[in-house]
Amino acid sequence: MPTGVTPSLYSARRHFRSAGQALKLVVAIVHNEDAGALVSALLDKDHRTTRLHSSGGFLRQSNATVLVGCDDDQVDGVLAIVRANCVSRTQVVNPMPPIMEPGEFYMPYPVEVELGGATVFVLPVDRFERL
């Protein structure tokens, strides 16, 4: 370790990666039921992950956004883990009734919607530092 540099600062400098080393950030938006298994599978393969709770979509159900930083050559492996752990499925739901005028009649019909799966973005990383 260089003189005059504290161990924690030296550790942070050792983990600095520049743009020349081709890093990617994989952002996977998955169904909340699939997130636990996905994070476990990623950690089993030594991928550092961050899980954020989110919501949105047609049913406004709970989702999870999983962030994975990896080298460019590891992206296909990360995507394979996401595919294996985030399967789509269908569910029958009753739609919300529209706002109606008095005397109008609305008969809700169950609708089959697809849940699960994953929406994945792979982004280039210009700079990465672990502090």
Sorted by where each starts, the structural domains of the chain and their CATH numbers stand as 9-125 (3.30.70.120)
Give every CB contact of residue 106 below 8 A, 6+ residues apart in sequence.
97, 98, 100
Residue 4: pLDDT over 60: no
Q: pTM (2 decimals)?
A: 0.69
Q: What is the pLDDT of residue 97?
A: 63
Q: What is the pLDDT of residue 20?
A: 57
If you average pLDDT over every residue of the chain, what do you get? Answer: 79
DSSP structure class, residue 94: P
Rounded distance between C-alpha atoms, residue 83 and residue 71, angstroms: 19
Tens of pLDDT, residues 34-88: 999 999 999 999 999 999 998 776 556 788 999 999 999 999 999 999 999 998 7
The proportion of the chain whose per-residue pLDDT surpasses 90, expressed as a percent, equals 43
